């Protein structure tokens, strides 16, 4: 039986690099693609000499040419943190629209199955809790976060159009808050922000009153859900995340306890359109994928904190976005 080939865009990013690892482990030929706008070469250095891994530096918003057969495509190229998509809003919109269009065209030409990385942000600041795939969302199209939210909503729409009009095999994963090794300390999301502040001896910054909730999924669980969805026969969106909800205030206290630090928590104004609740309903994933998260928050956070502790002091303190730490508790 011939080895199947998978193209993973955003391969040098947090989730993309873990997906490369998983598909290498499963015996696939993996082609990684990234333009390093937000990705990091270090995330895939360990794969560079692997016989089943190759890499192409490329911006997916430009025409994509791949030699040979491609069986699967996973589109994970996109800024995913608020710091990034507020800094590069046009690129964020383009990678969700032009990039997705290019990859749909490639999938059609190669007769490949395409899985796109959508997000819980398509639900906006939800009026339904927990969020099911049937909920249409509450999104401000012209707000500062709209560049990311609407890019992902358009991505879902054009993917389903190709599925229905061209009969293309497509999959859509709606990813909820995910964490683990290889997250960037300065990317503005709450876990690296809190852990970075703790390691630097700074007070932990909460935006708003801290009563907003999030649900955190460890990266290995997320990758398992994505892998199962790709190989399933289900083409509509599926939530993949951990339904165990916690307030940001309580989470900050967990981080202080985990890190053994004595910092206090400080509060700042809540940014525009920051969602007050985020919790996935994973009933569909349980039913069609036989999937649910296995790794508890205490275990996952310890692994993640040990990873951040292992970084050099230069990496710990080097942050051009330091003033935006924990920007929106995403």
Catalytic residue annotation: 148
Residue indicated by tokens 């190759």? 54
Would you say 119 and 79 are in contact if contact means Cβ atoms under 8 Å apart? Answer: no
How far is 83 from 271, CA to CA, in rounded Å?
A: 12
DSSP designation for 191: H
- Termini Cα distance of the chain: 43
State the DSSP string of 44-81. Answer: GGGGTT-TTEEEEE--TTS-----S---EEEE--S--S
Q: In this structure, is the dihedral angle defined by the CA atoms of residues 240, 22, 168 and 94, taken in order, positive or negative?
A: positive
What residue has token string 């920051």? 274
- C-alpha dihedral sign at 27, 294, 83, 187: negative
CA torsion, ordered 234, 72, 30, 75, to nearest 10 deg: -80
Residue where the block lists tokens 């089943």: 52
Residue 288 contacts by C-beta under 8 Å, 6 or more apart in sequence? 232, 234, 238
Phi, psi of 53 (to 5 degrees): -120, 135
Antiparallel, parallel or unpaired: β 5-9 and 113-119: unpaired
Q: 3-state class of 303 per DSSP?
A: helix
Cβ(24)–Cβ(52) under 8 Å?
Answer: yes
């Amino acid at each position: 039986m011939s080895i199947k080939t998978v193209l993973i865009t955003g391969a040098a990013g947090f989730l993309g690099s873990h997906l490369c690892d998983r598909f290498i482990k499963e015996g696939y030929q993996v082609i990684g693609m990234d333009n390093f706008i937000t990705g990091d070469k270090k995330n895939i250095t360990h794969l560079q000499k692997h016989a089943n891994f190759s890499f192409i530096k490329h911006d997916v918003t430009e025409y994509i040419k791949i030699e040979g057969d491609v069986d699967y495509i996973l589109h994970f190229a996109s800024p995913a943190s608020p710091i990034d998509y507020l800094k590069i809003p046009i690129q964020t919109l383009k990678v969700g629209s032009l990039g997705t269009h290019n990859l749909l065209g490639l999938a059609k030409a190669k007769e490949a199955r395409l899985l796109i990385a959508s997000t819980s942000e398509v639900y906006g600041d939800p009026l339904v809790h927990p969020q099911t795939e049937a909920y249409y969302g509450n999104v401000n199209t012209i707000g500062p976060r709209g560049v990311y939210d609407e890019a992902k909503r358009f991505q879902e729409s054009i993917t389903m159009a190709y599925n229905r009009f061209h009969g293309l095999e497509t999959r859509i994963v709606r990813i909820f808050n995910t964490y683990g090794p290889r997250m960037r300390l300065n990317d503005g999301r709450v876990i690296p922000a809190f852990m970075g502040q703790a390691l630097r001896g700074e007070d932990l910054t909460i935006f708003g009153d801290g009563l907003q909730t999030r649900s955190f999924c460890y990266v290995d669980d997320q990758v398992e859900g994505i892998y199962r969805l790709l190989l399933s026969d289900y083409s509509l969106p599926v939530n993949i995340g951990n339904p165990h909800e916690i307030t940001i205030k309580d989470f900050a206290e967990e981080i202080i306890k985990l890190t053994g630090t004595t910092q206090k928590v400080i509060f700042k104004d809540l940014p525009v359109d920051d969602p007050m609740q985020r919790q996935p309903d994973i009933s569909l994933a349980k039913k069609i994928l036989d999937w649910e998260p296995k790794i508890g928050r205490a275990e996952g956070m310890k692994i993640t904190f040990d990873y951040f502790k292992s970084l050099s002091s230069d990496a710990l303190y080097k942050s051009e976005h330091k003033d935006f730490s924990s920007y929106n508790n995403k």
